[in-house]
Amino acid sequence: MTSLNSKIGAGIVWNLANMFVSRGASVVFTLFLAKFLVPEAFGLMAMIAICYALADTLMTSGFGQAIIRQKTITPLDLSTAFFTNLAFSLLTYLMIYLAAPWAAGFYEQPELTILIRVTGLVLFINSLKVVQLALLNRNMDFKSLMRINSTATVCAGLIAVALAYAGFGVWSLVAQFTVSALVSTAMLWLSSSWRPSLSFSTASFKYMFGFGSKLTLENTLNVLYENSYILVIGKLFSPEITGLYYFAKRIRDLIVDQANSAVQQATYPAMARIQDDDIDLKRMYRMVIQLLFVVVTPGLLAVSVLARPLFELAFNERWLPAVPYLQLLCLAGILLPIHTVNFNMLKVKGRTDLILYLGLVKKGLHLGLLAASVPYGIEGILIGQIFAVLLSSAPYMYYSSAMIGYRVAEQVKDMLKPLVSASIAAIASWSLLNALNLSAAWASVAGGLAFSALYIGICHLARIEGYVLISKRLKTVLPGILCKRASRTQA
């Protein structure tokens, strides 16, 4: 267990480093793209992203998760997964190719037809890397994942910014999507010794599809649900408003999705290894919750506090209406780690039936509140989203208590500590900025420094568990990295 914990700790550090490097680069490139593109371009990309996300979910079919979860895996299993994903990618691309004109007609944007058909080619590219990606995660080789993701992000971002500067508009965003897939796929193949053989097992297919099919259905419904806001906003409002919402959500998701991914990728393979030991599983699950909330909560609240000065500093006036969208989306994102961590726990336990059931409950709440809030405009829709996330967290917390003994009171305690600390830092830094009335540049610097100092200070004094875990691991890992670099320099 000590060796496993060491791997988990190192994996979390590497994944957090991946988040800061690759997603930090994504933020920079997104800022540059916003300077050269109009909100309408992001609105069109939002409409394209729905079709791609839906098709990609159908293509992967949970096979990668099945590879990670299986206690033993054979070359025949891997070849079966590879050729299944390849076949599904061709089938789903045909589906979106034929559906593209319908999507363009739905949004009343004729150029979406060609945009969707070109972007859909990424499906085929991504299908080639499902097995390699699953093997790296299974082996907990997160250092390689960081290197691959960071390289792909930087290459794609540079090309997208160059195309945007040259006047290619929304096609620069399509290029970013495509180049990232190409670079990451090529690097995964180069870093992996596994190659598919011309073999296929019906028994292996049935086992993996049996596990993955419910995940696929849940993920498909989840894509439709998560993009229901884009569907409604894109249909009822202008491409400009859709673009402002999509841009704000993209910035929010850089924090939520990547922090979730950083911790989840490091812990899911380890949780799969102890899936039959509820005591160790609870201990690890609790650690994941503590880590996520100590990272995600301050990130979201800091962005909420600094949103206006940062937008004023980085963008022109046409992007300022996105500020309240971003602030409300950040508040809605605070409890999302509960959903994603429970999703992993249920996968580890093999309860894909509960994943589907809880997913339906969650989507019903969100869609009901979405329908009720439409008459109140974009802000009303986003406030409804906050309440939907809050309400849909309850059943997830219940099943954590029922299945591994992680009582609801313990969960609330573990979440409240970083939430209260980050809220104190946010209120204090917000008050400071309002009192000083600084320029956008100085407000960004002063607010960021004040928030960081206060939050870290509170976490240190209160000995908040997630902060302590990260601090200990950094003290262990960083000296080794620095020593290696120093020895290379001397050599």
| Surface-to-core class of residue 315, CB atoms within 10 Å of its CB (0-12 exposed, 13-18 middle, 19+ buried) | middle
- Alpha-carbon span 328 to 383, nearest angstrom: 7
Q: Quick one: pLDDT at residue 181?
A: 87
Q: Quick one: pLDDT at residue 423?
A: 93
Cβ-based neighbour number of residue 283 at 10 Å: 15
70 found inside a domain: yes
Q: Are residues 180 and 314 in the same domain?
A: no
Q: Are residues 241 and 317 in the same domain?
A: no
**Structural domain total, the chain:** 2
Neighbouring residues of 37: CB distance < 8 A, sequence distance ≥ 6: 164, 169, 170, 172, 173
CA 188 to chain CA centroid, nearest Å: 20
3 found inside a domain: no
Q: Are residues 324 and 427 in the same domain?
A: yes
262 found inside a domain: no
Q: Quick one: pLDDT at residue 274?
A: 74
- DSSP letters, 248-292, are HHHHHHHHHHHHHHHHHHHHHHHHHHTTT-HHHHHHHHHHHHHHH
Q: Are residues 290 and 366 in the same domain?
A: yes
Q: Are residues 242 and 292 in the same domain?
A: no
269 found inside a domain: no
Q: Quick one: pLDDT at residue 249?
A: 86
Q: Quick one: pLDDT at residue 323?
A: 92
Q: Are residues 63 and 177 in the same domain?
A: yes
Q: Quick one: pLDDT at residue 126?
A: 85
Q: Are residues 229 and 93 in the same domain?
A: yes
- Alpha-carbon span 42 to 23, nearest angstrom: 18
Neighbouring residues of 241: CB distance < 8 A, sequence distance ≥ 6: 39, 43, 233, 321, 378
Q: Are residues 215 and 312 in the same domain?
A: no
Q: Quick one: pLDDT at residue 338?
A: 81
Q: Are residues 296 and 376 in the same domain?
A: yes
Q: Are residues 201 and 295 in the same domain?
A: no
Q: Are residues 309 and 225 in the same domain?
A: no
4 found inside a domain: no
CB 46 within 8 A of CB 116: no
Which has the closest alpha carbon to 205: 62, 353, 92? Answer: 62
Q: Are residues 342 and 400 in the same domain?
A: yes
257 found inside a domain: no
Residue-range definition of the domain harbouring residue 317? 274-491
Cβ-based neighbour number of residue 261 at 10 Å: 17
2 found inside a domain: no
192 found inside a domain: yes
Split the chain (491 residues) into runs of 10 and give each run's mean pLDDT: 50 54 61 75 78 64 72 85 87 87 85 88 86 81 77 88 88 87 90 87 82 70 74 81 85 74 65 75 82 87 91 83 92 84 76 77 84 88 89 83 83 88 93 88 91 92 84 66 53 51
Q: Quick one: pLDDT at residue 421?
A: 93
Q: Quick one: pLDDT at residue 450?
A: 93
DSSP, collapsed to helix, strand or coil, labels residue 139 as coil
